[in-house]
Amino acid sequence: MREIIFDTETTGLDPRSGHRLVEIGCVELVDRRESGRTFHAYFHPERDMPAEAEAVHGLSVQFLSDKPLFASRVDELLEFLGDAPMVAHNAAFDFGFINAELARVGRPALDMARMCCTVQMARKLHPGAKHSLDALCTRYGIDRSHRIKHGALLDAELLAHLYIEMTGGRQIGLGLAAASAVTAAPGVASPPRPAAPARPFREPRPHAATPAELARHAEFVAALTQPLWHDSP
């Protein structure tokens, strides 16, 4: 099964207010394992960069000034995404920005049925706990020491490790994940459980001692000097 773990960086919180996508990072998983294939791109936002957004991801207007427009790389992005389920942290936010950019260039929106949100998964697994990417990486022992600022590809790579752990970890493939794996969002299939190998029937082994074994045991006990069970309490 192929899945895409992805993250975005933007100029703000709401595409309906004119905010734009400036970075996307995608990591391909095949059967819940990283395949090594990624997609990463920066985009010129065609607008200013608010200071509060730049403080989060560090992407300035100057840095983005020579980057391509979304329209020039949309075909590469859609080819990489294919029809695979798409996993993101607070996925509705990321889907909203991608679909807004697709609408600007006259492309169909991504089907929301493809969406899997790890925030929703975390709320079911750990109700009442913190559900930020940093907090969950700490909970699952995922090293994030190299994460100084938000970055789409780095965050997607961290999320890929987190998603694997939240859906059964390295037990997948051993047939043990079914008892502990999280139920994925609609449209995201669970990994198939391998069939148990056929084994020939064997008669149960006898467990009673033979007469010869009982005789040897009696001889051994008779030879003991002052056994503990003869001591007075």
> How many angstroms separate the CA atoms of 216 and 142, rounded?
58
Instruction: Check: CB of residue 110 under 8 Å from CB of residue 95.
Output: yes
- CA 47, 50, 51, 56: dihedral to nearest 10 degrees? -100
| Tokens coding 7 | 């993250």
Annotated binding site for substrate: 7, 9, 52, 57, 155
**Catalytic hit among 150, 161, 207, 230:** 150
- Asked if 153 and 40 touch (Cβ cutoff 8 Å), the reply is yes
Q: Is position 150 annotated as part of the catalytic site?
A: yes
User: Tokens representing 45?
Assistant: 């936002």
The contacts of residue 132 (CB under 8 Å, 6+ apart) are none
Q: Give the residue numbers of the binding site for a divalent metal cation.
A: 7, 9, 155
Extract the annotated binding site.
7, 9, 52, 57, 155
**Integer Cα distance of 51 and 58 in angstroms:** 9
Please identify every residue annotated as catalytic: 150
